[in-house]
Every structure is written in C-alpha cells, then in structure tokens.
Structure 1
Amino acid sequence: MKINALASYQTGEPVKDYSFDPGELQDYDCLIKVLACGICHSDIHVIDNDWGNSRYPLVPGHEVIGEVVELGSQVRHLKIGDRIGVGWQMSSCLQCPDCLKGNENLCDENQGLIISGYGGFADYLQVDSRFAFHIPQGIETEAAGPLLCGGITVYSGLRYAGMSSGQEIGVIGIGGLGHLAVQFASKLGNSVTVFTTSQDKAEFAHQLGANHVVVVPPGESPPLPTRLLDIIISTVPASLDWAAYIEYLNSDGTLTLVGVPDAPLTLPLFSLLSKRRRVMSSPIGGRAMMVEMLSVADRFGIKPIIETFPMQQANEAMQKVRENKVRYRAVLKVS
C-alpha cells in the first residue's frame, strides 16, 4: 500500500506532499489509520536537524492517535478498531537490563519514531505494536496525543524524583509541559508552587490547581524561599539561577529537569551536600510508566489545553509552535 504523508525534504523546509510504501507488515507490527497528531517542539528540532541525526524526507509527528486497521501475526494485545496512541519511542532491544526493568526509554538501542521511521503527519502509520498504547475511553482523541510526549515527560520526571501525594511540589514554567505538570502534581494530592514570569500566568496557574505562585521576571532570580519543597521540576528550555532554586528544596529534596537549558548547569556543591539534595533529569518514560500515566490522566481528568488545526494546515500550525504562540499544545486533526 501507499501511505500519503507530509514531509520535509531538506533541513528546515516546510512540509509538502510525500508518499511511500511502508513495506510488509511484520509479526509484531500494526497499521493505524491516523485520527489526530500533536505537534511538539521536538518535531521542529528534528525538521531543523538541531540534533544532527535527522534523515530526509522526514515525516514529523510523534504524538499520534489512530484506529487499528491491520495487525501482524503475533499481535495479541490489540484488535481491529482499537483506538491507540504512539509517542516518541518506536522500538528498543527489549532484552537489555534497562528494558527488562521496564526502562525501555533508557535502552541504548531505543529508536525515535521520527528519527528512525516515519511519523504521524500521514493518513496511516505502521509501527511496532509493542510501543502502541490503548487510549482510555475518557480521554478525547484530540487531547490524547500531547499526553504521549509532554504528559509522559513530566509524569515520569516527577515519579522518578519521588512524587507520591501529600508533598510540596514546585513547577518552573507554565507552558506546554508545565501546565500538565501542575495538573498531575495537584490532582494526585500535592501542594503545588509554580514559578512563572508574569501575573497573568500566575492567575492561570491557580486555575490549573496551583496553591502558591512565585513570580520571577525574566532574567531575575527568585526571592528567598518562605516554604521548602520536596521536588522542583523545571520545564523550561532556559538557563536559570539554579543555585537560588536549590535553596527552595527541603532536606533530601530533588531538582528534576525535563526542559533542556541552553548552557551547562552551575551549582554550589555545599548547598547540595548540606541538605543531601539531588539533581536529576528524565527522558519520557518506559511502557509501564506510559500505561500508568494514561490511567491517571483518565481517572483524574488531566488533559492538555490544545489548539486544533486541520492536517492541511500543518505548516501554519508548526509556525505558531516555532513562535511560541500556541496555548499550549498544537494538534492536527484528520478530516
């Protein structure tokens, strides 16, 4: 069969029509009719070859929601007609220590959907079914895609930093990642403090469930803390006064970064040592964590705030993402 898609043919180029033959369906593969696909800043990075591993023609889209239309001979956990989702990761070795511990996202052989394959800016997607996930009935199709990237990124980052409930959680940034982090932390029974840059974002943070907000104007440092936090998650791609944020951590507190700063971190060792504080980072999540995240999102009504666009307006939608004008996740719909 031929899959009709939108692809970037050269570095930084807008997408245009492209068709390809996905090849024979392998034993564990599934073929999905695409219903919706989110647009992430990572799609832009890959189109622009910012990480040096892009290949062209490049079909973007790694927040894919669709309906199963065909299954490989060994697929048992899916059936025709199921609504499923595919995120950043398309495969791993499934045999190394990380994979066997449920950390497929940490596998040395893990492959990104739009790095090693073709993404969801298409009418169909063929992918390893073992990296496709049932979407719970209570999650709307258009809202589900961003959970598979932004949602799993913040959820996994918080969980591996030790988040449970009854804790004090800090969230730096209230954008595409941050607005989901606030929801997960607050709806799981934690007190949330948001660090943001303006008063209007502070009011929005309260609407999402934040208990406290600290306004930190761009380029400035946060004030001295009046309350200490168990975990701070940074969702912003910027360099901040990390030493000042470390002072907000309680004993055994953790700073976890899921936004990638534009410069190396500079941290005072004594501030870490004196209170046994930790710094970590986290990429997406393994398959078990993905299933848990989707279940929590369904049970507690956690969903991204999205703007939708028809698939034909992919370039216009991506330009809005480039300019940070989307509030807060962009999603392409297949008509």
Structure 2
Amino acid sequence: MQELLRLVHESLPLSSFDGSKVSSSGVKHDINTQEGIRARNSMHNRVKSDLFIPAGGRPNTINENNWRDYLDADGKPSSGLIVEGANLFITPEARQLLFDNAGVVIVKDSSANKCGVVCSSYEIVASMLLETDEFMAVKDELVVEVVDKLRALARVEAQLLFREYKKDPTSALPPASERISRAITRVHDAVLAHFDEVCEEDQQILFTLIEEHLPPKLRELALDRVQQNVPLAYIRSIVASSLASKIVYREGLQFTEALPDSNLGNMALQYLKQEKKVQRLVHDVRSSQLPNKDDIADLLARGGVMYPCVVGHEIAGEVTLAGSEVTDLKVGDRVGVGAEVWACLNKDPNEPCSACANGDDGYCPQRVGTYNYKYKNDGAISYGGFADYVRVAHEYAFKIPDNIPSDVVAPLMCAGTTVFTPLKEAGIKPNDRVGVVGIGGLGHIAIQFAKALGAASVVAFSRSNSKEAEARRLGADEFVNYSDEKQAEAAVGSVNILLITADAKNMPYSTFLSFLAVRGTCIMVGLPDDDIKFNAFHVVAKGAKFVGSNIGSIQNIKDMLEVASKKSVRPVIQKLPMSKVNEGLQMMRDGTVRYRVVLEN
C-alpha cells in the first residue's frame, strides 16, 4: 500500500511500481501480461461498490452480449449506480438491459460529462483573454470559481434529469439525458440562426449572457476584451448555449419541446428580455423605500410571470385527447374550464390536504391555476385559453349543458362560479333581500344568480344611474345609487346579504356595511388595489359577518352550471375573433365592455 501511495504522491504511473515491494506471497500483474489484461477488463464485474464511474476508454466494454457478467449469481449488480465518464463504456442496448433486469441506474455520459466540455471552453476563453503571466497570477482563484460554475451546472442537470425520472420511475435515465441534450441543441441552433435578424439593441441584451457565463475573476480582468479577442462565431455560440441551457434547465423538457420551430429563436430572445425586465424590477424594488421591499423583491425574483405566458381562464371547447383512466369524459365532449385545472384532491395519503378533504379544492395549497402555474407533479407550466390546446385534470373539465351555447358558458366558468359560490354558501332564505354592489363583469351575473337562488328581492347598488335600466332588465327589483346621500340613507339596514363585486379604489365600505340588516352578511369577491377602510361599528353593532370568497369547488361549479341551465342565467357578452384580442383588452382597460369579452378561435 505504501508503494501505491508513493506513486500517487509523486504522480507516477503504475509502471513505476517497485516490484521488490511485492510480498513473498504476492503476485504483480500489469497490462503487459494476459492475467493483467483480464483483471483490468473484468474489474467492474468483480468489485462491489456503491458507485461505479467508468472514466476511461475501451468503448463497448459492457454490451448486449456480456451485460449479465456485471451481475452476480443472485442477479445483483456490482454497483447499482453508474455515472458514465466518456467513450461509451456501456452500449445503449446494455444500459436498457441493466435497468430492466437489475434496476441499475445509469447517468449517461451526455449528462455526466457536460462539465468536462464546459471546463474546456473556459480554458479556451481564458487563453484568448489573458496573457500567460496574467493567467498564472490568478490561476488558483480562477480554478475555484470554475469549479463553482461546474458544480452549479451539474446540479441543474441532475435536478432536471431526476424531475423527468419522477414523472415515470419505470423509465431509464439515459433517454432523458438524450432529450435534454437534444432540447438544448435545438434552442441553441435556433438562437444562432436568428442572430442576424436581431436588432443592435437586442444583440446587446444577448451579449449580457457572456458576462453571466464568465467566472467572476475572468469577468473582472477581461470582460472589456471579449469583443476584440474572441471570434464573433465563438461569442455567438457561448450566447446561444447559455440561453438554451437557461431555458431548458429552468422550464423543463415539456415546455421546451412544445415550442414551435418556426419562431423558436425569437421566443428564446423574448424569454431573455422578460427575464431582464424582472431583474430590473427587482433592482428597483430593492432600491426603493417600500415597506418589506426585500420580501417583495424575493417574491418577484422567485415567481412573477413565467414566460412565455399564455393567458385565458374562461374556456369552452371540446375534448381532443383523454387519458386512459378518464371514464367520465370522451373525445368530442363539449366542456368548460374555469380558473383552476388541478388540485391534489387529498389523493396522496402521505400528504393529507384538509382543504380538499373538506370539499374546498379551490383553496388547495397545491392548486394549479389555468395559466402561468407550475404543475406540482412534473413542473410543466399551465397554458390558458389563448392556446390551441390546454392540459386539464379531468375533474376540472365540466360537461356543458346542451341548452347553454359555448360562447355564453365561457364567462360562467370563472365569473359565474365566483359569484354563485358565496351566494349558495350564504344560504339565501325565501324572505332574504340580496344586494349586489357593482354592475359589471361579475355583478351582472350575480343579480341573475341571486334571483335564481330564491332571493325575495335583489337590490343593485351602483355609483351612478347609468346602469339602472340594465340592472332591472337583468332581474334587479330595486336600484340604489350609493353616491346619492338620500338613496344611500334610505337603503340602511335593507339587505340580508350584500355581495361586493366592484374593485375600484377608495370605495365607501362603511356605507356598504350600513346597508346590512341585523345578522347580515357582507361578502367580498372584488379585489381592489388599495387597502380597504371601514367603521367596525357597522359590523359589531349588527352582529354582522364580513367574509371573502375566491373561486368555487368542483361541486360548486357543477351546481352553478345546473342552476344556470334550469334558470336561464346568461352573461351578457361581446364576441370578437381571436385575431382582435388586443381590441378586447383595450376595451377592458377603457371600461367599455358590456360585460364580458368572449374571443372565438
């Protein structure tokens, strides 16, 4: 052993081993003897270990003809985990056979050896940017920084690889490694092809990736030399590789593979531009005087909008594909989708969910919204109704009653559910008077549902008289302009249930609460941008309740559709083709919509 350690300490090859150090009962074999060659070529089959790393040459050492030699008489492998180095030590066929028959987990060389390739790239760039004496002066520091970079790269590669494995533990890892490599190459090639079409300003945004790519010391000493010392083709390749890796590792394979080839280079650029916007916003927040500015900045940095983002959360369409375990829907069924596409539904005994167990799946902490959320099981991003196709858990695709047209049912899936749920849960009694504040996208549907659920009278509250006629046509028995002091005073104590759907700033909540009768209930579904203020006397003195409500549960949505079908609750809509989406959005900003814009594709 001491002789072997000497070779290590002096960095000498095994051929320098002093034969006199072999004991009288020992035998020395090297690669110049047949026994030495046999021992070398079969060591991986004989030596038991937790981890095997084939890092040398000898391609096809383990192949489809001899893979069983890697297993002992009981069928157990020499090592259950293999992390490949290079040179295809194991053939693709043998990888699959070892996984299928012995459960051997193999991390393919295309994943395991990426750090080697990147390390070589850093060597080349350093040689272009630094003189020899400069390099030697910072070599030790630079090596530490490069190792840190390589660790970070290995980490994100492993994280993505095992995210893919989690989706299907019955699949071997090497195919996922190959998909990762193909995805990065595909985006890289698209960015390169798009470079000449990019304006000067956007090229400068792309070149910021060079700064991210370089280790800190190299950046400090020679960032200003890159344009002069590094060939343009090499710079572009670094930029393309960096952007492609950023997108694939962060967003995953499903996201990247779904991006169309036709516009992939531009989409990658837009992804980077949006990231830069978020970074600038985070910087501005940290530099501001906002309360809790660091918490806000961290939230923005971690979350925010995930680009590309496909919006749209009130959807009506047809089932185009159903999973093998879906029994309640079939291809061709007409369905509606609201603001939620997945919840845990308390199905995992290891992670009990009290919200879902109580039928409150709309409040599930793991819920996935219809767009710009990540699915918890595979990390994929949810895309909304502006897309050609959407992914939805079957529980959240609801069959549409035959007597409700698709264009009319779409707004019911969120707006309808939002107002129906709290009215249903409030338990409207035959003598109850129900008030609705705000006659807009939510309020005009709330008036109809209040009537449909049996309210004795429905009172519409608005800040002007402009919507009185419309409110009465929708079913309101009375109308109150709460900006008029006399009308507001006359309405004090007049309703048992008050639903606030308006979301304007500086609304008179004390006035609204004054409208409640004793033991009345005020429900907020509108979300104003400012903090609300009210006199607590109006709640305490009447023994009233002031509550909020978000979206509805699966059962509430089913009940809502049934009531809408039987009682002819219909939203007022304005239809536009999907090509005029920007016109529809401008109508929303201007407040001219009556009352929901429906886009048809």
User: TM (normalized to structure 1)?
Assistant: 0.81
Q: Secondary structure at the match of 1:125?
A: coil
Query: Which of residues 128, 131, 153 in structure 1 aligns to 2:418?
Result: 153
Query: Which of residues 511, 514, 519 in structure 2 aligns to 1:252?
Result: 519
Q: Within 5 A, what are the aligned runs for 1:101-120?
A: 101-116=358-373, 117-120=382-385
Structure 1 residue runs of 5 or longer lacking an equivalent are 1-19, 25-47
Partners of 1:104 and 1:273 in 2: how far apart? Answer: 31
- Tell me, yes or no, if structure 1 residue 172 matches structure 2 residue 437: yes
Alpha-carbon offset, residue 90 of structure 1? 1.4
Larger displacement relative to structure 2 (210-219 or 70-79): 210-219
The CA RMSD measured in Å over matched residues stands at: 2.5
Query: Which of residues 497, 502, 508 in structure 2 aligns to 1:236?
Result: 502
Question: Which position in structure 2 is the counterpart of 1:321?
Answer: 588
Change beyond 3 A, Cα 1:156–1:245: same
Q: Within 5 A, what are the aligned runs for 1:3-42?
A: none
Q: Secondary structure at the match of 2:417?
A: helix
Given that 2:480 and 2:487 are in contact with CA atoms closer than 8 Å, whether structure 1 keeps it comes out as no
Q: Secondary structure at the match of 1:170?
A: strand
Given that 2:493 and 2:518 are in contact with CA atoms closer than 8 Å, whether structure 1 keeps it comes out as no
CA deviations 1:215-269 (Å, max 9, x no partner) are 1339999334265211000111123221122121111101101111232232323
Q: Secondary structure at the match of 1:144?
A: helix
Q: Secondary structure at the match of 1:127?
A: coil
Partners of 2:485 and 2:319 in 1: how far apart? Answer: 48
Change beyond 3 A, Cα 1:277–1:256: same
Given that 2:428 and 2:453 are in contact with CA atoms closer than 8 Å, whether structure 1 keeps it comes out as no
Question: Which position in structure 2 is the counterpart of 1:213?
Answer: 479
Q: Within 5 A, what are the aligned runs for 1:159-308?
A: 159-190=424-455, 191-217=457-483, 222-225=488-491, 228-238=494-504, 239-308=506-575
Alpha-carbon offset, residue 59 of structure 1? 0.5
User: TM (normalized to structure 2)?
Assistant: 0.46
Alpha-carbon offset, residue 188 of structure 1? 2.5
Question: Which position in structure 1 is the counterpart of 2:53?
Answer: none
Alpha-carbon offset, residue 134 of structure 1? 0.7
Change beyond 3 A, Cα 1:54–1:161: farther
CA deviations 1:86-133 (Å, max 9, x no partner) are 111111121111112211011111121112111111222222112111
Question: Which position in structure 2 is the counterpart of 1:9?
Answer: none
CA deviations 1:252-295 (Å, max 9, x no partner) are 10110111123223232333222210101100100000000010
Change beyond 3 A, Cα 1:81–1:164: farther
Query: Which of residues 317, 325, 348 in structure 2 aligns to 1:66?
Result: 317
Partners of 2:390 and 2:529 in 1: how far apart? Answer: 33
Count of aligned residue pairs for this structure pair: 292
Given that 2:493 and 2:514 are in contact with CA atoms closer than 8 Å, whether structure 1 keeps it comes out as no
Question: Which position in structure 2 is the counterpart of 1:75?
Answer: 326
Given that 1:184 and 1:302 are in contact with CA atoms closer than 8 Å, whether structure 2 keeps it comes out as yes
Change beyond 3 A, Cα 1:223–1:101: same
Given that 1:157 and 1:257 are in contact with CA atoms closer than 8 Å, whether structure 2 keeps it comes out as no
Change beyond 3 A, Cα 1:272–1:201: same
Amino acid at match of 2:580: Q
Larger radius of gyration: 2
CA deviations 1:38-83 (Å, max 9, x no partner) are xxxxxxxxxx999953211111111111111211011011012110
Alpha-carbon offset, residue 23 of structure 1? 9.5
Change beyond 3 A, Cα 1:91–1:156: same
Amino acid at match of 1:157: P
Report sequence identity in percent: 37
**Larger proportion of helix:** 2
**Larger proportion of strand:** 1
Alpha-carbon offset, residue 308 of structure 1? 0.5
Given that 1:228 and 1:249 are in contact with CA atoms closer than 8 Å, whether structure 2 keeps it comes out as yes
Structure 2 residue runs of 5 or longer lacking an equivalent are 1-252, 258-277, 282-295, 347-352, 374-381
Alpha-carbon offset, residue 157 of structure 1? 2.2
Partners of 1:123 and 1:314 in 2: how far apart? Answer: 14
